[in-house]
Structure 1
């Protein structure tokens, strides 16, 4: 199998059913039944054939083309015969469901580390089941990083249509957020989102940055993070060639979202509330910063609608499309000596910023409320 995988120049995407007790299997079956996806990538299903059949039944008997070799004719099922070892009950959290998720995700990571796939798309997971199965990390992203022994900058990237958001802090209590906002952490978040937007196909991404405090800090009256940390990080990013502006008051920045390809927020709900109001259906989460492209729909396991065949596959399809797009970009860079790399992108951006954009980065907007 390894040899056949390396011969192709199409993106190679592994998909998992996610939590077997949730709507993940139904969603994956619906996405795999879309023959247009076979034209986009070679697809490998991490699961037993019995699980695929159950998923097809959950999706009202959709047709999923299966082939001995992944390609335009069908998906390849990487059946390792382990499904009977994990007994799960629909719509219930369990240690077994979490263990099944980890088993398939580890298989995907092993394939990625061996160079046999370019991306992983996983259906929704249930954090309670994952913790019952032994996960001690705060979220899946940190678990992935640990499995890959990766210590670089990572962040969940959330997507709603053309708008991507990154964040400086993530799954931590609000009482800890202010102390985690500094120039270095903000700069890393800006750099990561910029690179990922470039990988998604945008040659010169435009970013905006949120303030932390009300009224953009009101010149330090409501906090100094904007003055001492966020604005200096924006200035440093611009010096590196990143087209970024801010900080802007967080209650208005999303009103000007059409100006930006990405927005860096300071904490989880600052961006998530806005994104889910703008586009709950179709939302995607990318496990940003990891050496392998990993994406998932930005919703949960929806135990309340399991077995009803009413789960929308839109977000899962979008997650697949994002993974293909990013994997293609990375593959083009690997295979073509003529393609412009990210470092060249920054140099071009630096020259453009020096000629066109103003050097003022801190924006104070008077507010009355």
Structure 2
């Protein structure tokens, strides 16, 4: 099978995104792993090259020629003037270019011209001012793609994935929003995403909600009435799922490599653990979408933007994971066309 083709978006130009992509493109093995289309205004990529003090080749390509050309190419956009870029500053212009470049990358993926999308960090405030009109970029992408199936942000560290049953809600509302169906969806999302990344039979641990996994109902009955039945149902579907495990020990199992994924009940239950285990290597996957999309888990880092201090480790991790997922996506699509 030929190499997958990846569209790369520079992220918010006021942050470290363009610098990160310049550094990524100069790492060993990157250009050998995938055909790459840089989607964005030429001066954004030049900006990143200058910030990183590294070369970035901008070989132009038309949208009509993308499928026929291999290697590294640049699809020119016209979304922001050089004078509009203010380093380390939230701006509507930065949000506008982020959205328009992302839209184009998603268009390419929907048309089958690329097999996955990698974006450098966005700034949600800037995107909101430019018309994001969604909780986050993941919800935005689902709406843009016309996808109404189950999807959720997945956090990845090295070989470990985490999904969550509830996400951006207040802690006081978590228990009321946990259901058997929600747990099964989070388990299925972890299982399916790991399989797309090349794991034949993923091992998944479900974290408990209450201290000591409820201690047989002493500290809450959610484990008995909701989590355990959901886990049993997943096991009946022949998935390798265990739990509920106390949340203060389940990530020790993960750290030892005993499981491939942890399903958490709420946002910070998994986020704190993942970021402590390796913040500089964390990746975010747009789980459940019909196309593979990944990004480094950190933000735009306005405090170091333009200073050639950005650590490219998480971006490389995101790229490597996306390549594996894109290969599976490409193979599935090719199989569908031959049936």
Category of TM-score, reference length = shorter chain: over 0.9
Q: 1:26-45 residue pairs with structure 2 within 5 A?
A: 26-34=19-27, 36-45=29-38
Match of 1:219 in 2: 216
Match of 2:128 in 1: 131
User: Which deviations, in whole Å up to 9, do the C-alpha atoms of 1:166-212 show, x marking residues without a partner?
Assistant: 11111111122111101000000001100111111111110000001
* Counterpart-to-counterpart distance in 2, 1:80 and 1:307: 22
Match of 1:101 in 2: 98
User: Which deviations, in whole Å up to 9, do the C-alpha atoms of 1:315-367 show, x marking residues without a partner?
Assistant: 01111111101011222233359xxxxxxxxxxxxxxxxxxxxxxxxxxxxxx
Q: Is contact 1:11-1:331 (8 Å) kept?
A: yes
Which one has a bigger Cα radius of gyration?
A: 1
Q: 1:289-308 residue pairs with structure 2 within 5 A?
A: 289-308=288-307
Q: Is contact 1:139-1:171 (8 Å) kept?
A: no
1:199 partnered with 2:196? yes
Match of 1:77 in 2: 74
User: Shift in Å at residue 97 of structure 1?
Assistant: 0.8
* Counterpart-to-counterpart distance in 2, 1:153 and 1:51: 34
Q: 1:141-220 residue pairs with structure 2 within 5 A?
A: 141-220=138-217
User: Shift in Å at residue 308 of structure 1?
Assistant: 1.1
* Counterpart-to-counterpart distance in 2, 1:34 and 1:96: 30
Q: Is contact 1:24-1:123 (8 Å) kept?
A: yes
* Counterpart-to-counterpart distance in 2, 1:72 and 1:148: 25
Q: Which runs of 5+ in 2 are unaligned?
A: none
User: Shift in Å at residue 74 of structure 1?
Assistant: 4.3
3-state SS, counterpart of residue 264 of structure 1: strand
* Counterpart-to-counterpart distance in 2, 1:81 and 1:330: 30
Q: 181-190 or 166-175, which moves further after superposition?
A: 166-175
Match of 2:17 in 1: 24
User: Shift in Å at residue 155 of structure 1?
Assistant: 1.3
3-state SS, counterpart of residue 84 of structure 2: coil
3-state SS, counterpart of residue 141 of structure 1: helix
* Counterpart-to-counterpart distance in 2, 1:308 and 1:293: 31
3-state SS, counterpart of residue 124 of structure 1: coil
User: Shift in Å at residue 73 of structure 1?
Assistant: 7.5
Change in CA separation of 1:73 and 1:328 when aligned onto 2, cut-off 3 Å: closer
User: Shift in Å at residue 75 of structure 1?
Assistant: 1.5
* Counterpart-to-counterpart distance in 2, 1:151 and 1:336: 24
3-state SS, counterpart of residue 174 of structure 2: helix
* Counterpart-to-counterpart distance in 1, 2:140 and 2:174: 21
Q: Is contact 2:292-2:329 (8 Å) kept?
A: no
Match of 1:115 in 2: 112
Change in CA separation of 1:65 and 1:309 when aligned onto 2, cut-off 3 Å: same
Change in CA separation of 1:136 and 1:80 when aligned onto 2, cut-off 3 Å: closer
* Counterpart-to-counterpart distance in 1, 2:79 and 2:251: 46
* Counterpart-to-counterpart distance in 1, 2:332 and 2:45: 34
User: Shift in Å at residue 20 of structure 1?
Assistant: 0.6
User: Shift in Å at residue 35 of structure 1?
Assistant: 5.1
* Counterpart-to-counterpart distance in 2, 1:30 and 1:335: 32
Q: If the length of structure 2 is used for normalisation, what is the TM-score?
A: 0.93
Match of 1:341 in 2: none
Say what the alpha-carbon RMSD is for the aligned residues: 1.8
3-state SS, counterpart of residue 204 of structure 1: coil
How many residue pairs get matched?
Answer: 329
Change in CA separation of 1:86 and 1:296 when aligned onto 2, cut-off 3 Å: farther
Q: Is contact 1:39-1:72 (8 Å) kept?
A: no
Q: Is contact 1:19-1:101 (8 Å) kept?
A: yes
* Counterpart-to-counterpart distance in 2, 1:110 and 1:237: 35
